[in-house]
Structure 1
């Protein structure tokens, strides 16, 4: 039985978005479940938009998520090169072969003529498409023009042919060739377009399954025409549903969509990102199941991917992230928090802080707003206090806390609760005044636990400073 081989083939022309990464994840899961091979191929034929930093980020994302590849950049393999810009001779040879078979032809039309043609067609309410002006050129005319004029090679789509195929996700699909333009396959600079390169590479790299976004369905007839003309077997096709924003429009930054590296830098864990992306179009039970990458390999199935477009819900990502944060051991969380805490932060102090805020954290970056006061004295002024009795609260607390000899949580709590009882104050009002004085915020870990970590001297100093505010 032929080994399953899939490819993730990004274009390094910009910041990889979450849709690209979901495609990589689904391809990776399919191969790992079927003991197949995951190939990374870089589609870098658009040299004007090529960005080496984009390429670095693509590979960094895969490594961060743990989506290791069997063949591709940095690893090599038996079917390289894995950069399309290094495979130009293969595309040029195939394009010429298609011409010989009558499945493609030379086109010498200038950009000016093509633009004029498009304008005329739009004016008539027609869909812009090439008019096959160069198809009728004789061999002699073609050879003469090739010596002096720039040319491209176009695919000659069959007339009135119905292209039908079974999509592993979308089901049976048929498209009439009348709806498809004669696509440029080889540009005048000798570089291929996507449509030629993808067919050549998928064939030569022995790709068995093509899993990609649903936006590529309209291009399938072009690819099938090339496969048929060359007598090559067609890989199985599976087109993933679109990811839409919460308002059912195209996903964009305003919906919270970013690069995986941006999410990482904001403090989202890779486990949460993987779990969240897996449910973008794929379903398993109630879609709230916490599944590790290893779990997903066991249960993932193309049959459970929906046809309908799916919705990106940032709140769901937040929920997953909070769950995974709480599953971490305190010492694990301290390590993960390194990019989000002061460089000189004491590890033992962090181990005391983490249990106090862990249950309320959504992202690792929440640490600074929840616990930053442990490392930097807050700027406290009178406008922060809600209760008119705040000065009395602080004076009583300062006086009572100064007398404590054993600076531990039970002793601190006992002293503070006695103050509340003796003065008939509301517990919430009293502790809120202390929170603001010590932490500069209305939302903090329990003030008695915070005082233990800060130490007696620092706690009293902050209470005293707040009284002067």
Structure 2
């Protein structure tokens, strides 16, 4: 058997973290077995589906690198196929026309609620042996309902949750085609999974209630059943359902915030799946390790601090040329002045160890690409009469030494010894005059990157 999985989002909003994780698991399972990963856009909800949402899904999948082998298939482009199957089911007697209006259906459900019964369609138009159906109302267009089994159970061995059984008495005859002929969600999904030969359906556990309906439709069609796995939802750190305040935003907001796709993939992979104690791994390793046996039965909790930690790890590993391509546009928007400034890749190499996102890295690097404006109060605090002579001597020595970190460090130590000062007494004023701030990486490394001419010019400008 060739493994065939699918990711089938509805384009009624952005691609969120839960959807991205489902896509990742489906992609990884197909890749693990050398199978096929299919992208399907379930766009039959005409009122809520938008082209912008479709584009957001495609962009999110592309950013994550979850490339599909087939598709994207759009349900709205498969209407002829759905109508064909509906016609076949009507002919086979597994579906029937129902002429009840929505108001009549709601009235029958209200009567059932009053009697303490489960509200459901009562089968008014369901054909049965010996049953006389009502007269067809003139001019009324019918819906098509699936003739769900009345007795027995629907049982499947969910690869995540274990065996699940739903009584057919809990399921009514769902509408599979509306009066205008457009098919409904569960019917389209069943037909698509059949036509696309899907072997494994991995999706969120909010779909558990849809599964028995889809199984019954597939059985009525004589179609093979895929294996189903329903992954628990993602919760916020407070245990509540993930919302925007927890980070349930579009996946495409994460690159805008400065996250790398490999960090997001690594994080999502561990959000409801485990491989021993391994926390950090490549997608190649993930594809090799991934199976359905180690999917968690419990909801996972989103932890932005852990995502930031992973992002820092991958930033430190990333090629500096790649980071430059990401950092430079952010810095340009902040007004960075690159002319005559240090090499950006060299700056990135110095700064990336301590930053969690590309945006943080860009902000940290800005100290090399803007004119410093030392705070007067800080200058008064750090540039004392004791320190001023040391600054003058250091500036003099900078004119003649080799310009590298070791030589700069040696010159600083010589000045400190001569004036009986401690390192912070010289380093803080230097940071203020050269960068305009007190917090920087090692001052000798910073001075080396700025270059002799800039260092001397700023010492002359601010130290006098």
Question: When the two structures are superposed, what TM-score results if normalisation uses the length of structure 1?
Answer: 0.87
In structure 2, the CA distance between the partners of 1:139 and 1:13, relative to structure 1 (3 Å rule), is: farther
The C-alpha deviation readout for 1:306-340, integer Å capped at 9, x for no partner, is 21111111222112211122223434433443433
Out of 373-382 and 82-91, give the one that drifted further: 373-382
**What residue is the counterpart of 1:399 in the other structure?**
392
In structure 2, the CA distance between the partners of 1:189 and 1:432, relative to structure 1 (3 Å rule), is: farther
5+ long unaligned stretches in structure 1: 74-81
**What residue is the counterpart of 2:455 in the other structure?**
459
Q: Within the alignment, does 1:20 sit opposite 2:10 as a pair? A: no
Tell me how large the CA RMSD over aligned residues is.
3.0
Q: Within the alignment, does 1:37 sit opposite 2:36 as a pair? A: yes
CA-CA distance at 1:17 after TM superposition: 0.5
CA-CA distance at 1:41 after TM superposition: 1.3
Output the CA distance in 1 between the equivalents of 2:378 and 2:144.
Answer: 71
**What residue is the counterpart of 1:302 in the other structure?**
292
For residue 311 of structure 1, the aligned residue among 293, 301, 313 is 301
In structure 2, the CA distance between the partners of 1:114 and 1:431, relative to structure 1 (3 Å rule), is: farther
5 Å matches for 1:323-402?
Answer: 323-342=313-332, 345=338, 349-383=343-377, 388-392=381-385, 395-396=388-389, 398-402=391-395
Out of 104-113 and 261-270, give the one that drifted further: 104-113
- Kept in 1: contact 2:390–2:426 (CA 8 A): no
Output the CA distance in 2 between the equivalents of 1:131 and 1:465.
Answer: 88
- Kept in 1: contact 2:200–2:228 (CA 8 A): yes
Output the CA distance in 2 between the equivalents of 1:57 and 1:390.
Answer: 53
Question: When the two structures are superposed, what TM-score results if normalisation uses the length of structure 2?
Answer: 0.88
**What residue is the counterpart of 2:234 in the other structure?**
243
The C-alpha deviation readout for 1:249-279, integer Å capped at 9, x for no partner, is 1112211233332212222222211111111
CA-CA distance at 1:198 after TM superposition: 0.4
Output the CA distance in 1 between the equivalents of 2:195 and 2:215.
Answer: 16
For residue 219 of structure 1, the aligned residue among 188, 192, 210 is 210
**Count of paired positions:** 455
In structure 2, the CA distance between the partners of 1:351 and 1:368, relative to structure 1 (3 Å rule), is: closer
**What residue is the counterpart of 1:187 in the other structure?**
178
**What residue is the counterpart of 2:83 in the other structure?**
92
- Kept in 2: contact 1:394–1:434 (CA 8 A): no
Out of 33-42 and 337-346, give the one that drifted further: 337-346
5+ long unaligned stretches in structure 2: none
- Kept in 2: contact 1:154–1:185 (CA 8 A): yes
Q: Within the alignment, does 1:197 sit opposite 2:188 as a pair? A: yes
Query: Aligned with 1:237: secondary structure?
Result: strand
In structure 2, the CA distance between the partners of 1:219 and 1:397, relative to structure 1 (3 Å rule), is: farther
The C-alpha deviation readout for 1:51-83, integer Å capped at 9, x for no partner, is 21221222222222222222113xxxxxxxx21
- Kept in 2: contact 1:371–1:444 (CA 8 A): no
In structure 2, the CA distance between the partners of 1:460 and 1:226, relative to structure 1 (3 Å rule), is: same
- Kept in 2: contact 1:381–1:466 (CA 8 A): no
The C-alpha deviation readout for 1:322-378, integer Å capped at 9, x for no partner, is 112222343443344343343874797113212211211211211222110111124
